[in-house]
Amino acid sequence: MNKSIKEEEKDDGSKIFQTIEVAKVDHRSNVSPPPSAGTTPLLEVSTGDEFSLLPPLNFAMVDNGIFRSGFPDSTNFSFLKTLGLRSIISLCPEAYPENNMQFLKSNGIKLFQFGIKGSKCLPGLENEVWLHLRKHQKEGSYTNGNSKTTEPFVNISDYKIREALKVLLDEKNHPLLIHCNRGKHRTGCLVGCMRKLQKWCLTSIFDEYKRFAAAKARISDQMFMELFDVSSFKNTPMSFSCSSS
């Protein structure tokens, strides 16, 4: 399969993200003809992929032209076609599955991959995470945008979230789907940081995050969103509304 892969690196040589461009194949010759005049079209039910409109896990609309979900698989492809996607933001570090790449190629969808490793706090450590971050915040030694900060529990990359936000805010990439593995933590953090740009209050941001994370909600993720500095995006054009929630 022909792919054009562009990788960007930081000054230290570490990879930020990769963009994969794929060619589009025109399938219009396979479109079925419209029903004959005078007939009433019926809802067609089929076990085939063509009529199986199954959304990915935790799918939802975030804003105009922006969607979120867990990792899509082949059972979700017919549904995703209805969205007319131009781009996908994947927050998973693993190589994108070949089956998914074929789907992107067939539909002219660009993949932006920001590899953020999923991680879990050990049971009982969430409060320690909170206290740890609060301590460093009060001492002034914790700066969310500082890549040199070493904190042992939170593994969301501030820099990669910022780069993903730039892609997310660019209307040329819409309609766009954001996904991680389950559509909960990494996706929730990216959406939460976008909500700060929309001037949502923290209570509303956390409520939305918890709707998807449910019992798996992490204090560390919420702390990340609370500390995330959006001031560098104040002059960035935005196609969505920026009103308080």
Q: Which of 92, 121, 180, 193 is catalytic?
A: 180
Encoded tokens for 54: 């199954």
Determine contact, residues 209/192, Cβ cutoff 8 Å. yes
Determine contact, residues 45/51, Cβ cutoff 8 Å. yes
Task: Establish whether 201 is a catalytic residue.
Answer: no
Closest residue by Cα to residue 77 from 103, 38, 39: 103
The CA distance from 148 to 144, in Å, is 10
H-helix segments, the chain: 77-81, 98-107, 126-139, 158-169, 185-197, 202-213, 219-227
Q: Which residues are catalytic?
A: 180
